[in-house]
Amino acid sequence: MTILEKALEARSKKVNKVETTKALKMPMDVHAKLEEIAAAGYEGLAKEDSAYFLKCFGLFDKGEDFMLRVRIPAGQLNYEQAKRIGEVAKKFGNDYIDITTRMQVELRYLQIEDIAKVLAELKEAGVSTFQTGVDNPRGIVADPLDGIAYDSVIETMPIIEELQAIFGENPEWISALPRKFNTGILGSLSNSCNIFGHDCGFVLAQKDGLFGFNVYLGARVGVQSQDANLFVTIEEVPLFFKSLLTVFKNYGYRDNRNKNRLVFLINDVGIDNFVDAVKVEAGAEFTTAGTTMVQSQNIALGSNKVLGRNGKFNYKIIVPSGIFTGSDMMATAQAAKEFGTGDVRLTYDQNVYIVNVPKESLAGFEANDLITHYAKFNNLYFNDMIACAGTATCSFGVIPNKPDAIEMAHFLSSEVAIENANVRMNWSACPKGCGVHGIADIGFEGCKAKDSEGNRVDGVHIFVGGKITREAVEAHALHKALPITEAKHHVKYLLKTYARHKLRGETYEAFDDRFLSRNYSFQALAFFTKINYILNDKLDLDVFFELEAEPKSSSREEYELFGFGLKLFKLLTGEKRFEGVDGLAPILLKPRTIKRDTVNTLNPKVPAKLSEVIYNMTHENKKERAAVFSELLVALKEI
């Protein structure tokens, strides 16, 4: 018995309810009866069809209507496809479209009597909705400027078409997997599709002078993929992919759905053993990894248009939170046809590219009504913003989310305008993390919080320090359960620091590496944003507590805490707490002593609780001082 067989046997003591449902019928039998299901309405809708089988074809029952997830490989649409999606959304779905992080679209508010018509009308234009939900190979993402951008080394769309030929609309693969399976393939130098965040990621690489892909496996929310130490050539990708899916289908777990994504099998058997099983299935000995070539974030880096290697421009329409309309999708198709080649590309960050616009047509293109309407969103805080569906359309959502993201972007635009900058802010409405907040520069996870009066309000957990360049790194929690009305100010102070200390053209991710994470602990950064919120937005003292470019604390919390306290004392009283210090100790034999209310006495605008906090941070006796920022943050909540 192989190690994979043993792992499967250990996890086969029971079968989850979804697997029981899947055994009731064949998905294609349900698809064949779509017209009957539509005609019968909700009264005749079988529970298993609503709960599972219709999702195999992108149809999600929302109780009163349906959401439809549309498959758009690599986000690429031609004129007829983009136009038809817009027409269907306008005709059947309240003129509403969501652009998703899988470079696809979701149509909403579809009535059950129309579902068969909707799928038929999309199919006429060559648009499929197959396998966009439940236990299927989902849509494959790639660089939105695949084959166009200067940094596109391997055009991946032909490879994606080969992969889709394996499983797409193939009854043998519909609902065959234990769980969903996300795939990305990147043939470019810039990571424009979160390439390390998929069950399987093919990442541009070079080995012995050949260009191909290094393979990364096993990502899920909160966990980035692992290096499989494999290099596959362009020609080997389909064989490897089919073999990978087959191994997952045969050995993936079917008991606990919370623990049956690919990563759980890999972790149990070890990635080397798992890769060996894929090699056996393929009957091929793939070579070891080459040099991963991903070098940067999106090649445009904040610009809304970028020149392609064919001498034509590719224009990015910034769509706040991915909220689009059918009417605007039709207008996008028309603009693409009039000024370009009719081709449209959706992006991982929920925006839309119109590609191949000649330089001589650019002025007329930018005067187009659609382009001028969305031009106002072309700024730092909208360009790379991601937000998944919230309470309005998702049963898992804890906060509205998309409107919250838009409101914060407007707030930051007015408060902290920064030129020649780039910051990625991602919003997830719940812990499921569909807004991929975990790899953002600044990420938000929806939750409930309490305001200053103890009322239950919409809130967020704030995360910072996520990375996607060269390798993926999960962000760290900065604050938990902040009211959104307060959270925007914390973010404001992080961005003020970025604006003050950034180098020319430096992205926030690079700035975090060079300045924030290098110099300060996450606990210190949490205190930094909190104290500035209190000083300025609660007490209206109009004083900014700044971070030093070269602190001497070396991210040691005890030193950071003491140094911050000394700085606060001087900032709020105009006096030195001590004549001098050596490390954690005053240098005088009899250093200055203060009382808990000394800062309040010297500056009556400072409340007693804050005065006490500063006292605890700077006590002349090291043993009497607060030891960690967390206890200070608790105390600051009382102000």
Question: What is the distance of C-alpha 257 from the center of its chain?
Answer: 22
pLDDT of residue 483: 98
- Confirm if 304 and 383 have CB atoms less than 8 A apart: yes
Average pLDDT of span 270-288:
97
pLDDT at 444: 98
Classified as helix, coil or strand, 309 is coil
Span 130-147, pLDDT tens digits: 999 999 999 999 999 999
Checking if the pLDDT of 530 tops 70, the result is: yes
| 210-216 LR contacts (CB < 8 Å, sep 24+) | 210/290, 211/153, 211/154, 212/154, 212/236, 212/290, 213/154, 213/185, 213/186, 213/187, 213/237, 214/289, 214/290, 214/292, 215/240, 215/289
Residue by residue, DSSP assigns 584-634 as TEESSSS-----TTHHHHH-TTS-HHHHHHHHHHH-SSGGGS---HHHHHH
Average pLDDT of the segment spanning 515-520: 96
pLDDT, residue 297, reads 66
Q: Say what percent of the chain tops pLDDT 70.
A: 99
Taking only the tens place, the pLDDT of each residue in 594-610 is 999 999 999 999 999 99
The string of pLDDT tens digits covering residues 232-249 is 999 999 999 999 999 999
**8-state DSSP, 548:** P
- The average pLDDT across 419-437 equals 95
Instruction: List the structure tokens of 178.
Output: 């234990």
Report pLDDT for 299: 65
> At 301, is the pLDDT very low, low, confident or very high (cuts 50, 70, 90)?
low
The answer on pLDDT for 374 being more than 70 is yes
Q: Count the helices and strands in the chain (H runs, E runs).
A: 24, 23
More confident residue, 285 or 296: 285
What is the dihedral sign for C-alpha 81, 83, 84, 86?
A: positive
- Whether residue 390 is predicted with pLDDT greater than 80 in this model: the reply is yes
Residue 342, pLDDT above cutoff 70: yes
**Domains (range + CATH), the chain:** 3-71+101-292 (3.30.413.10), 379-507 (3.30.413.10), 520-639 (no CATH)
Mean pLDDT of the chain: 96
The pLDDT of residue 480: 97
Over residues 571-588, mean pLDDT: 93
CB 484 within 8 A of CB 450: no
Query: For the segment 439-491, what is each residue's pLDDT rounded down to a tens digit?
Result: 999 999 999 999 989 999 999 999 999 998 877 889 999 999 999 999 999 99
pLDDT range class, residue 303, cuts 50, 70, 90: confident
pLDDT band per the 50, 70, 90 thresholds, residue 100: very high
pLDDT at 221 over 90: no
Has this prediction a pTM greater than 0.85? Answer: yes
Examine the pLDDT at 302 and tell me if it is beyond 80.
Answer: no
